Amino acid sequence: MLLSGGIDSATALYLTRKERPVRALTFAYHGIAGQELESAKAIAAEAKVTEHRLVRLPDLKEAGDIAGARFGGLPPTYVPLRNSIFYSFAASYAEESGASLIVGGHNRDDERIFDDVSSGFFASLERAFLAASPILRRNRVRISRPLGSRSKPEVIRLASSLRVPLELTWSCHREGINHCWECDGCLMRAKSFASAGVTDPLAPKRRGKIT
Ligand SMILES: [Zn+2]
């Protein structure tokens, strides 16, 4: 399965490992926060995955880091054709390891922003992989998105019930030891936990009222 350091993929991992052994694949592309990679490693170790493979893609950059490129309407964190590339690596890994399921932790909200998280995209990709490989056909490989019908707050509630180590996850887009609580990733995290009614183990402690 594809594992970042985020809440969604950690939750998909804990959901999947209830039913089968899991191998995890993490992509170190240009600009990814170093702490997110550390989070992915920590989550994979905590979940006791069969293998955690790190794929280094230093030439793959976020839109915000590509000088002169135009990606109208897409956020600066968009990585051009990210999922076409990531899932191709995952299919190659599935072919090598004999896996029959490729799991991604995309939630319902992701599909509203990115075309490469849509059901149509994944159905096409699945057909392309099956056309490309007799091994994948024999193993009846499928792409599964177990969180695809859930909003982010719903994913957080599910994570809480599955005892996902949320303290190991990473949502910040900036470099640092701790979350900055100012970037889009941090603001979305705080909003989603509040909406879910779940306490974020990483949230900064509020100061008591001064009397
Ligand atoms: Zn941040």
Compute, in angstroms, the gap from residue 185 CA to the centroid of ligand 1: 6
CA distance 179 to 78: 20
Retrieve residue 98's tokens.
């004999």
pLDDT at 47 over 80: yes
Mean pLDDT, rounded, of the chain: 93
Residues 6+ apart with CB under 8 A from 200: 166, 189, 190, 193
Instruction: Give me the half-sphere count of Cα atoms (radius 13 Å) on the Cβ side of residue 172.
Output: 17
| Overall pTM > 0.85 | yes
Compute, in angstroms, the gap from residue 173 CA to the centroid of ligand 1: 5
Nearest to 60 by CA among 78, 74, 72, 73: 78
Quick: pLDDT tens for 140-193.
999 999 999 999 999 999 999 999 999 999 999 888 999 999 999 999 999 999
Compute, in angstroms, the gap from residue 103 CA to the centroid of ligand 1: 26
Compute, in angstroms, the gap from residue 50 CA to the centroid of ligand 1: 31
Q: Are strands 23-29 and 51-57 parallel, antiparallel or unpaired?
A: parallel
CA distance 74 to 114: 8
Retrieve residue 25's tokens.
């694949």
Measured from the Cβ of residue 132, the count of other Cβ atoms closer than 10 Å reads 14
Compute, in angstroms, the gap from residue 148 CA to the centroid of ligand 1: 25
Between 162 and 206, residue with greater pLDDT: 162
> What is the pLDDT, as a whole number, of residue 189?
97
CA distance 99 to 132: 16
Compute, in angstroms, the gap from residue 197 CA to the centroid of ligand 1: 21
> What is the pLDDT, as a whole number, of residue 74?
83
Residues 6+ apart with CB under 8 A from 139: 94, 98, 99, 100
Task: Kindly indicate the confidence band of residue 206, based on its pLDDT and cuts at 50, 70 and 90.
Answer: low
Domain regions of the chain by residue span: 7-67+74-196
Compute, in angstroms, the gap from residue 121 CA to the centroid of ligand 1: 30
Backbone phi, psi, residue 26, to 5°: -120, 140
Nearest to 90 by CA among 48, 125, 124, 63: 125
Measured from the Cβ of residue 188, the count of other Cβ atoms closer than 10 Å reads 14
Stated as kind and residue range, the H or E segment containing 142 is strand 142-144
Retrieve residue 191's tokens.
């909003």
Compute, in angstroms, the gap from residue 190 CA to the centroid of ligand 1: 10
Compute, in angstroms, the gap from residue 188 CA to the centroid of ligand 1: 9
Compute, in angstroms, the gap from residue 33 CA to the centroid of ligand 1: 10
Compute, in angstroms, the gap from residue 114 CA to the centroid of ligand 1: 21
As assigned by CATH, the class of the 7-67+74-196 domain is alpha beta
Whether the Cβ atoms of residue 40 and residue 3 lie closer than 8 Å to each other: yes
Compute, in angstroms, the gap from residue 120 CA to the centroid of ligand 1: 32
